[in-house]
Each structure stands twice: as C-alpha cells, then as structure tokens.
Structure 1
Amino acid sequence: MTPALRAAVEKYLIDPSQEGAWQALAFVDLDACDNAAGMGSPPLASVDLDGCGSTARMGLPPLVFIDLDVCDRSALAGSLPPFPVIGIGDPDHPLSVTLDAVLESPVDAEALIKQVERAPRAAAVTVQLLRTAEALPLDRALVLESLAYGLLQGSEEYAAWLSARRPAEPNPDGRVVVERRDAVLHVTLDRPRARNAINRVVRDQLYEAFTVAAADPEIRSVKLRSVGEAFSAGGDLEEFGTTRDPATAHLIRMHTLPALAVARRPEILDVHIQGACIGAGVEISAFAGRVTAASTAWFQLPELAMGLIPGAGGCVSVPRRIGRQRAALMILSGQRIDAQTALRWGLIDAIEDQPPVTTI
C-alpha cells in the first residue's frame, strides 16, 4: 500500500490480524451501541467514528478497509458486517471474493469514502443486496432489488437529495422507435435533446418492445440503439419523487420494469453504446448477450449520491457481467469508467466505432 493510499483510508483501516477485530465488526451488539462512544473497545480503536453521519449513531462505521497483504483466511471467519468492507491489495488474493470489493484503478479511495459518508445507509443496503442477489435467479433478484430500492425511497438520505434539487416539471416527451425486419427487432431510443433520458413514456415503450421480443420465438435478435451523442443519461431526474409511496412505486416497477422483460431472453439483446451511458442505460445494456461501445463511450452509476441504489435492474445485471466486487466499486464510488476499462472488466464485449444513428 502506498503512503498516499494509506493516508486516504487510514480513518477506516482495520487490522484483521488483531485478535477479535473482525468478530467485533461482524457481530456488533446494537443494543449496547447508543452512540459512537460506546464503540471505543480495543478491537475498534483504529476506526474513527467521528463524522460518520447516521451510522455513527448506531455505533457502526460507514465502511472499513482491510489490507490484504497482512490478512489471512482465518482473519475473515464469519459473516460480513452490514456495511461495505473494502480490500486493498491484490484483487486475485484468495480472500478478495469474500469482501464487497477490492480497490483498484480507476476508482479513487477518497472519492469512494466521500460518497459512502454522504449516503451510508444506501451504501449499506447496496452491499447487502449485492451479497444476497448474486445467488438468486434473475427474476427473484430483480424483485429483491425493487424492494431494496423502495426501502431507500423512504429514507432520510433520499429525502435530503430531493429537497436540495431544483424542482422542475416532468417532460412527457419521448419515444422509442420499434421496427421489425425479418427476425430482427430494431429498438431505438429517440429523445436526443434529453440525452435519451428514460422517462415513463420511454420506459413503458421499452417494456412493450422487450415483452414482444420475449414472447415471439421467431425474433432472434433485438438491436438496441439510440439517437444523438449520448446513449442514455439514465432515469429522467425530473420524474424522481413523483410517486411518493414506496410500496406503490414497487408495484409499478413490477409491471413496467424493462429489465423484467429483457430477463426472459437476455441472450438475444444486442446493444451499441456511444457517449454517456449512465444509470439505467448501463443497467439495461448489462443484461445483453452482446454489448459494443464507441471508443469515447463512458459509464457511470451515480445513484448512491441520491441516497438510492441502481433500480432499473443494475444490481442484478452489472454484477453478473463484471462481478459483485467491481459492481460495488462502480456503485459506491459513483465514478465514471471509460470504454477501455469497461472492456477490461467485461461490461462491454468490444470497442467499435459505428456510424451514428439518425432520427427515424
């Protein structure tokens, strides 16, 4: 570990070789933790809980780092604690698959810490969901993601984000152009002035198109493309918070989430990405059997900054493409990755500079 990295993570760095350190984190007694001061026992002496936000009141840090170079298998016996546990060191270390993530380029430790400190509850829900969902079938994992998303829609962190943003009237404009040519269904996002943000209109039309493809065995390929400089800016922020009841929002997602239709035949989906691919754009494309991207494309999952998790299927699709640990890095840090990193990680299958799609 470099001195700069150690300095960045020192506040949350624990030594799992210290007797009892891991067990103290994994099996913390919340009944005895009225405040951060109650956690001053020797096993947690190296974790500074000051300024940890809401989780400090529960006696829990927002995250911890462990140095894999000084960690053996016995040090991580037992279940993970209910918050992110990030390793530093060799990503091929035998214990790396146990942790929520192993820090690696291009993710910056300071950016990750800042993001998690700002939304510790959403970060905790993120890693617990990822740990559980990876063992579930696609359809059941998507239900679990929606339930977790709904939980956070009722949280203080999400409410704070909503109250801080400038209100705007939702824009109902938007369309998805669907055209069948023999055994190929061409689906095109055509909302370029909104950077192909996915509002209710676009969401519903995507769901209908993917449902048709899933139900028709004669359709052998679905080619998803978009018009303009950006593939998709993700969910339309102007519509966030318009459905205030989380239970109602969950029921709506279970009837209209495009990922539910894609998940019935994900192998036939073929996606090409240009420019920005954010949020739901990443989440939907990650289901595809084949994903290509322009050399200038970039990818981002920014939902944690809103007090949320990816809610368009990304907590299911992205880990199954790049692994739970790298998916956690993308979500917890909120940082962009470029096309070259996406290719190395497996988020895309090839870099191809294709001709732009024009309005049909």
Structure 2
Amino acid sequence: MDEMVRWEHREKITIIILNRPEAANALSKQLLSELKQLLQTIKGQNDIQTVIITGSGPFFCAGADLKERKGMDEEEVKQAVQQIRSIINEVENVPQPTIAAINGAAMGGGLELALACDIRIAAQDAKLGLTETSLGIIPGAGGTQRLPRLIGKGRAKELIFAARKISGAEAETLGLVEYAVEAERVLEKAFELAKEFVENAPLSLRQAKIAVNKGMETDIMTGLKIEELAYNALLNSSDRIEGLKAFQEKRQPRYTGR
C-alpha cells in the first residue's frame, strides 16, 4: 500500500506531505492514522526543530473524505469526526514550530488543519474555506474556535455562515495566512522561514510557543506568569550558556537542544 503521508528531513526541518493527490489529500482514516504515528515520532526528536505540513499535487487538503463517510452510520460518522479533531489537536500540540504550506485548496478539515499550525503560507490563487454549513453541518475540528481567535469573531462568522471560499491573497489581507505567494514558491517560502527559526535555540522555540499559545487563552496577568514559568524553564539549559558565550565571543551559537 502506498504511503498516504510522506516525510522528508533536512537541515533540522521535517516536511510532512499529505499524499493522496487522487483524492485531493482528503483525510481518510488511513491517512489520519499514518499522520498520528508520524506526529508522535516527531514530538520526541531533538534534531527536528521546525515542521512544515503541505500537500502533494495541486491540493493542500480537501478536508474529510466524504466518499469514505458516505457509507457510515451516525455513530461511525461521530467517530470519524472525533478522529479528525484528535489529530488536528495533535498538530497544534506539536512542541516545535509548525508551518502550513498551503499549496492548493484547503477546505473544511483541511483549513482546520492549517489553522492548528503556528504559521500559514498560501498560494495566492489557492482556495480556502470552512464550507461545512453548505453541507448541513458546522466546522467540527476547531474551525469555529481557531478562526475567530485569528481574524476576529465578525469576519470568522461571515466566512462560516456564508460557507465562503476565498483566495490565498484575500486570506492574507484578513490575517488568516501570514504570507500569500506564487504557487510555485509556497514550499520555498516555508523553508526559508523555517531556516530562520532553526538558527535559534530549540528549547527556546518550544518555550516561546508554550508562552504564546497558553498566554493568549487567558488574562494578561496569568499570561505574564506563564511567560515567567516558560522563561525560568530555560535558566539551567546548556543552550542558554552557549548563547551567552557565543554573544561574548562574537560567533554563531552551536545549540544542542539541552
């Protein structure tokens, strides 16, 4: 059986490739199972400092595999949605910085997958949308929660209520993606950004991610305490000492993730 999730690793960066181009990289049970196994492996790897997620062919991800779901009863559908929800939450909880390289259409659960990443880069002409209300359902894998936190309640409600598809260029103006570039440059841009990240201390990247993600979900004083705890977690690290030495010696630091 062909792998539905492929991966490459170079220069401390892992690229995850959803590999069902014949089905627009839809989230089948098998693809989700393979993605879960890969994510669990990545979490424990110190030599992986940034993760890029993209799709094969002209698609990022079409969301749930509706052909697979067609033969399911109500309980099976509920379980299938829970599987997607669980895997997308796993993406958000990857300790390393994550970048969604949206090379093509990202619909429904495909866009929810991108929303769970830290940074999003889209092709200017890619189509993005949470279109579930046109199918008699609602976004069920974080879309109603992550999208308004990203672009505001009013804009998020408009897109969800209208089941509207927007271009990558429009998504950039709304703040849904950080960059919209030519389709052939999406992965290149993601890799350029990832290379900037991996020049820095891996433990610092992880603690900064914790501080931002956890702090944004609470009040400012609690957020400042979360930041303090994340900072203190680095005080005894070898990388902190190395960073100071490299600064004093006017050289590039050699971080080890310890």
TM-score bin (small chain): 0.5 to 0.7
Q: Provide the secondary structure at the position in 1 that maps to 2:120.
A: strand
- Taking structure 1 as reference, are residues 254 and 299 closer, same or farther at Cα in structure 2, changes over 3 Å only? closer
Instruction: After TM superposition, give the deviation of residue 212 of structure 1 in Å.
Output: 2.5
Instruction: After TM superposition, give the deviation of residue 233 of structure 1 in Å.
Output: 1.6
Is the 2:27–2:84 Cα contact (8 Å) retained in structure 1? Answer: no
Q: How many residues align?
A: 187
1:28-177 matches, within 5 Å, as 175-177=4-6
Which residue is equivalent to 1:194? Answer: 23
User: Gaps spanning 5+ residues in structure 1: where?
Assistant: 1-171
Which residue is equivalent to 1:37? Answer: none
Is the 1:230–1:277 Cα contact (8 Å) retained in structure 2? Answer: yes
Is the 2:5–2:35 Cα contact (8 Å) retained in structure 1? Answer: yes
User: Gaps spanning 5+ residues in structure 2: where?
Assistant: 188-258
Question: Are residues 1:272 and 2:101 paired?
Answer: yes
Could you say which structure has the higher helix fraction? 2
Which residue is equivalent to 2:68? Answer: 239
Which residue is equivalent to 1:92? Answer: none
Render the CA deviation track for 1:47-83: whole Å, top value 9, x for unaligned. xxxxxxxxxxxxxxxxxxxxxxxxxxxxxxxxxxxxx
Question: Are residues 1:315 and 2:144 paired?
Answer: yes
1:198-209 matches, within 5 Å, as 198-209=27-38
Q: TM-score, normalising length from structure 2? A: 0.63
Amino acid paired to 2:164: Q
Question: Are residues 1:286 and 2:145 paired?
Answer: no
Instruction: Tell which structure's C-alpha radius of gyration is larger.
Output: 1
- Measure, in 2, the Cα distance between the counterparts of 1:229 and 1:183: 26
Which residue is equivalent to 1:134? Answer: none
Instruction: After TM superposition, give the deviation of residue 266 of structure 1 in Å.
Output: 6.7
Amino acid paired to 2:14: L
Question: Are residues 1:298 and 2:165 paired?
Answer: no
Render the CA deviation track for 1:1-58: whole Å, top value 9, x for unaligned. xxxxxxxxxxxxxxxxxxxxxxxxxxxxxxxxxxxxxxxxxxxxxxxxxxxxxxxxxx
- Measure, in 2, the Cα distance between the counterparts of 1:252 and 1:304: 15
RMSD after superposition? 2.9
Q: Provide the secondary structure at the position in 1 that maps to 2:60.
A: coil
1:254-273 matches, within 5 Å, as 257-265=86-94, 268-273=97-102
- Measure, in 1, the Cα distance between the counterparts of 2:42 and 2:150: 22
Percent sequence identity over matched residues? Answer: 28
- Measure, in 2, the Cα distance between the counterparts of 1:232 and 1:251: 16
Q: TM-score, normalising length from structure 1? A: 0.46
- Taking structure 1 as reference, are residues 254 and 195 closer, same or farther at Cα in structure 2, changes over 3 Å only? closer
- Measure, in 2, the Cα distance between the counterparts of 1:295 and 1:255: 27
Which residue is equivalent to 1:224? Answer: 53
